[in-house]
Homo-oligomer: A and B are copies of this chain.
Amino acid sequence: MSQSSQSQSSKSQPSKSQSTTLALENFLPYRLTRLTDAISRDFSQAYRARLGLTRPEWRTLATIGQFGTMTATEIGAHSSMHKTKVSRAVASLETRRWLVRTPDPQDRRVERLTLSKTGQKAYEDMVPVARSFETKLLDRMKPKERAALLEGLEALERTTLTE
């Protein structure tokens, strides 16, 4: 599925003693980035091919699609994106006419962002694609493994993310 990462050279053996050495291929941060890069690159192909979106644009679309109307700051908070990324993604979606800005009458610094009809269509087009991508990913694992992954991820998120 993923051609993005090269294959491991499975034959080469360490020439240094175990204790002085770190096995990169077993190192958790490395494993996570490698896995994540491959998966998110595969998935990004889906929305890039289908909608011509970049990743920040997809996340922005997904967030507004999920909640209906949001401010740029809220989008950033919900999709873990820096505000400059959100700003540029919003600008790009706006020129595509997939979203509309309306000034907030209460606070003129704020812009309320809403999907246009076209943007909404695009979102609704992508939801089943995303769902099936995730399903395919999980369905290749045994039920026990799948459960383990979700439990483990949740635990790691709990201890790592929310301060």
Residues of A in contact with B (beta carbons under 8 Å apart): 1-3, 5-9, 12, 14-16, 20-25, 27-40, 43, 59, 62-63, 65-69, 74, 76-80, 124, 126-127, 130-131, 133-134, 137-138, 140-142, 145-153, 155-157, 159-163
With A32-B40, A33-B40 as known contacts, state yes or no: A66 contacts B160, CB within 8 Å: no
Q: Contact at A133–B15, with CB atoms within 8 Å?
A: no
In the assembled complex, the CB of A117 is this many whole angstroms from the nearest CB of chain B, namely 14
Q: List B contacts of A145 (CB < 8 A).
A: 151-152, 155-156
Q: Contact at A20–B156, with CB atoms within 8 Å?
A: no
Q: Contact at B40–A6, with CB atoms within 8 Å?
A: no
Q: List 6 A-B contacts (CB under 8 A).
A: A29-B134, A32-B35, A38-B160, A148-B149, A149-B149, A149-B156
A140 to B39, CA, bound (A): 26
A79 to B79, CA, bound (A): 28
A27 interface neighbour in B28, B69, B134, Cβ under 8 Å: B134
A17 to B133, CA, bound (A): 21
